């Protein structure tokens, strides 16, 4: 099976032009099949302020009303996505910018209203992801760059969590490829001691995870990422890696620096 890297990059890199340039240079030098999923960062909030569109959050999650979905479609699907594509083209990486609506790659459902109405926010059913369309692009030597947007099959764009999109396409493509899902963030990996950036736990399997939880060695913020990683592995993804964007090239080898999560 051919190797595929699904690489999720967060807002802290997107917001910083110098960091983004270094990261994209690394992406371009990865020789295997690869897909990049990018978050939105603070750019949507900044442009929204200029357009008098107020950003509203509940429990850290953006409320996507009618004005906001127009805003994030412009910023995520347009400005950020196309800047990334243009930079990758300058590095001889034949990138193609997409949302989940393009080629019907990621149909989603508008989130049902329970306690909070999140507005135009999408939830993904992994079995609906059109993996064959992404595979066709990969086999034609394109590098898909996915914005955190999906669609509801009724003509509406939906704002969708980039971590979730990365996990969903990694699961869907694991039918065809040996997939390593890489979450790039600002730490070297999962740390045994939050105060010590060098205390990276290099390998976590389920047994090790149970042990770390019992010893209460993991900080709360990392738990959802690890839970998502195991959910992806249980659904067919070969490996998930959590690490620093600066270590991307090393983390596509067998000699990883970050935290490799396996069955």
- Dump pLDDT digits (tens) for 129-145: 999 999 999 999 999 99
Inter-residue contact 232 to 181 (CB < 8 Å): yes
* Separation of alpha carbons 243 and 260, rounded Å: 9
97 is known to lie in a ligand binding site: no
**Annotated domain spans of the chain:** 3-261
Total-model pTM? 0.95
Q: Pick out the chain residues at pLDDT < 50.
A: none
- Tokens 């913020």 — which residue? 221
- Dump pLDDT digits (tens) for 32-86: 999 999 988 799 999 999 999 998 888 878 899 999 999 999 999 999 999 999 9
- Would you give the DSSP letter of residue 79? I
Inter-residue contact 139 to 165 (CB < 8 Å): no
- Averaged pLDDT of the chain: 94
* Separation of alpha carbons 226 and 65, rounded Å: 30
Helix 81-90 and helix 17-29: axis angle, to 10°? 50
* Separation of alpha carbons 8 and 145, rounded Å: 10
62 is known to lie in a ligand binding site: yes
243 is known to lie in a ligand binding site: no
Inter-residue contact 169 to 131 (CB < 8 Å): yes
pLDDT at 27: 98
CA 137 to chain centre: 18
pLDDT at 195: 84
Whether CATH 2.40.37.10 fits 3-261:
no
**Burial status of residue 233 (CB atoms within 10 A of its CB: 0-12, 13-18, 19 or more):** buried
């Amino acid at each position: 099976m051919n190797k595929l890297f699904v690489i999720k990059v967060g807002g802290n890199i997107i917001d910083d032009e110098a960091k983004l340039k270094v990261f994209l240079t690394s992406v371009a030098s990865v020789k295997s099949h690869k897909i990049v999923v990018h978050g939105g960062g603070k750019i949507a909030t900044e442009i929204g302020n200029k357009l008098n569109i107020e950003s509203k959050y509940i429990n850290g999650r953006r409320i996507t009303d009618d004005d906001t979905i127009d805003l994030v479609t412009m910023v995520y699907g347009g400005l950020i996505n196309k800047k990334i594509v243009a930079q990758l083209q300058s590095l001889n990486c034949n990138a193609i910018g997409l949302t989940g609506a393009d080629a019907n790659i990621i149909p989603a459902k508008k989130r049902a209203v329970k306690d909070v109405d999140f507005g135009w926010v999408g939830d993904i059913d992994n079995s609906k992801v059109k993996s064959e369309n992404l595979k066709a692009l990969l086999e034609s030597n394109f590098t898909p760059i996915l914005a955190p947007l999906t669609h509801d099959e009724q003509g509406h764009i939906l704002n969708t969590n980039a971590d979730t999109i990365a996990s969903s396409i990694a699961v869907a493509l694991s039918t065809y490829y040996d997939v390593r899902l890489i979450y790039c963030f600002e730490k070297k990996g999962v740390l045994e001691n939050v105060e010590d950036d060098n205390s990276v736990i290099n390998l976590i399997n389920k047994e090790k995870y149970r042990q770390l939880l019992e010893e209460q060695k993991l900080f709360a913020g990392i738990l959802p990422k690890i839970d998502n990683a195991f959910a992806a592995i249980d659904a067919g993804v070969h490996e998930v890696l959590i690490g620093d964007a600066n270590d991307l090239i090393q983390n596509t080898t067998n000699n990883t620096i970050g935290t490799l999560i396996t069955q």
